[in-house]
Structure 1
């Protein structure tokens, strides 16, 4: 068991023969970004997978620590450290500090028990302490914030970056509704989708790029993805530059439903894609007011909340200045509503209702 000594910047490691009596074994202290305090630690075993092919080549432990405040972008963030655990002491492999997300809205993720020998699975809190109590969902729904989707994790060595905990979307099959759009093209091409008739207003996007030739790519070779409201003109933009410094970006600055000085509006990360394999992949989940992206097969992950005044219902995907022999496969799925089966005739979901009616909360759609 790991326990944070929050303002001492230490994680205590405890052992127990019966999960009842616990003995302090060691401390993991003063590592990485300190912020103002340590929170929500995890010590989890992960498989180590090869960068090409994904076969399991070993296993290791990872210590994750959430800090609040003190993130590089402000507010809260989660950092992690790969290393070895001998049952009482954890030792890092190197002195690097690594972050779970390149954006601002994934914090304090906790791991599910019982995944030894396979990818670990976690869920995080999809917000940031800098503005969590002010976001507008509470105005109508009576609650604020949500969780990320379930994510699978493993350790791998990414090109030039070194060790990373890769984050991929856990099996989405239970909530896949139907294929809303599917298109394959070479070089430059695009696909547009009006998903206003998708009841959940939620999509899963899977884009696979193959046949990439680094010698034919320029700094203007991009893959772009945007979500737009036709009634308000608000747009959530994202994209990847295959040349230059290889940045992937998300821009929520064109949303007008929430104004807060700490609501940073643009995020990016450098993704040095694997030029040997010549492939690149993007997974994304867009659900009303949250976008999760898994870049380059999960080498980088970004979680971004956004608050438009009207629903985003148009999706645009496209490649620009892409070499003509590069193949792009884009598939978009509509997602089932997780609320639908619990709604009453007015579309309201009741929760926390006691038999005597002492506790009663109602959840209504934001739009």
Structure 2
């Protein structure tokens, strides 16, 4: 093993506050909602409890960014209506460029938020609100709900996309209903007609389906267009609890059909859930931008830092690729940290790791096993093992500090990429998280950790090369 950083010197700052992940101090947050891009700004809304650091009393919080790294918190966007249709649950938003809704004023395209409301009796319906000032203020539609509950316990998380067919153009809304998705159509975002259902006997069904996202993508290899459907599921993830699966196929304006029945996971870790994509971004047919809630319902209310609970993953690209004759998704990290003035750091013995950084390295295909091990002065350990002989990646957080509520776990995933090629690994480490991207995001693992002291030592197998560390801790 090559010892890149000595574990003997340790930062005294033991805060778990993230440096380059979005969170809200003093509050609980979960699912990202209503993502859109307009006039040079990325808008992020999210499930927010304004009163506590545990789930409950759901509103939509709001923030904006010009680079997806630094965020400006904004006033509440949508308020719960416990005496009316209910609390504000998850959903999406679209920029209504052609003013199909009729809400636009003076050639300003309205932004339409689409979301679920749950009453105190726990009935879930679909509602909308509109903004004519770029998303700073929203007005509730007076004729909500736009889709009534069809008699289901779980009927939520609407996400809307524009369908541009040869003969017809209209909005398509995906809403999860138990363990399937219902698709609806509308020409004005106000009146909706049911089209079809998807999900029976396909994909993972270990828990309730949530947060659908349907959109087209053009493959950068073949130039052909396919449709992608993201579905979060809880429980039933590949490593326990919450996770996000995806399907690739075709959507003809009425029905979605998947290319196969294989269960595919967007991230094999425990802490990438309920993610959706931004609307109206540049090059949206070639790549979508995505973020997710960085937690898991197995322990989300019980993580050890009660000053805040809930953060978002790094924003990622979603690109359509083709491998071994089948379409798949690549999801590399998106933010341009170089534009923020961050620099590569060369560490020598006697120096500590920063608390937030990007680690990039290459693994030789000639070696059967590669180990990357983080340590601290409390003898806590976090490790990644890449075993090419067994075609398996193992992430071990069982001795990484906080070990309750399932944190004493070891995560294992099968390798799907070509093990005859050099493996490029990028790890984005923050104070309480590791996001691991293999080969441009062909496989990803995101996991939370809560060490009692920051990890300051790093040991890597000798044959690893091109090791680069970029300090990101100044981004807090």
Measured against the shorter chain, the TM-score band is 0.7 to 0.9
Whether 1:68 aligns to 2:228 is no
Shift of 1:134: 0.6
Whether 1:236 aligns to 2:347 is no
Pairs within 5 Å for 1:266-345: 266-274=410-418, 278-320=421-463, 328-339=465-476
Distance 1:100 1:120 in 2: 14
Whether 1:28 aligns to 2:198 is yes
Pairs within 5 Å for 1:173-188: 173=337, 174-175=339-340, 177-181=342-346
> What is the match of residue 345 of structure 1?
none
Structure 1 residue ranges (4+ consecutive) displaced by more than 6 angstroms after TM superposition = none
Instruction: Normalising by structure 2, report the TM-score.
Output: 0.59
> What is the match of residue 224 of structure 1?
371
Distance 1:78 1:45 in 2: 18
Change in Cα spacing, 1:227 to 1:192, as seen in structure 2 (3 Å) is: farther
Instruction: Normalising by structure 1, report the TM-score.
Output: 0.75
> What is the match of residue 4 of structure 1?
175
Could you list the per-position Cα deviations for residues 254-304 of structure 1 after superposition, in whole angstroms to 9, with x for gaps in the alignment?
1222422x335111222244366x332111100011000011221110001
Distance 1:269 1:163 in 2: 20
2:300 to 128, 132, 142: 132
Shift of 1:20: 3.0
Kept in 1, the 8 Å contact 2:219–2:286? The answer is no
Change in Cα spacing, 1:79 to 1:266, as seen in structure 2 (3 Å) is: same
Kept in 1, the 8 Å contact 2:358–2:472? The answer is yes
Change in Cα spacing, 1:81 to 1:318, as seen in structure 2 (3 Å) is: same
Shift of 1:176: 5.6
Whether 1:46 aligns to 2:190 is no
Shift of 1:88: 2.3
The count of residues paired between Structure 1 and Structure 2 equals 301
> What is the match of residue 407 of structure 2?
263
2:187 to 2, 5, 17: 17
Change in Cα spacing, 1:93 to 1:202, as seen in structure 2 (3 Å) is: same
The alignment's C-alpha RMSD in Å is 2.4
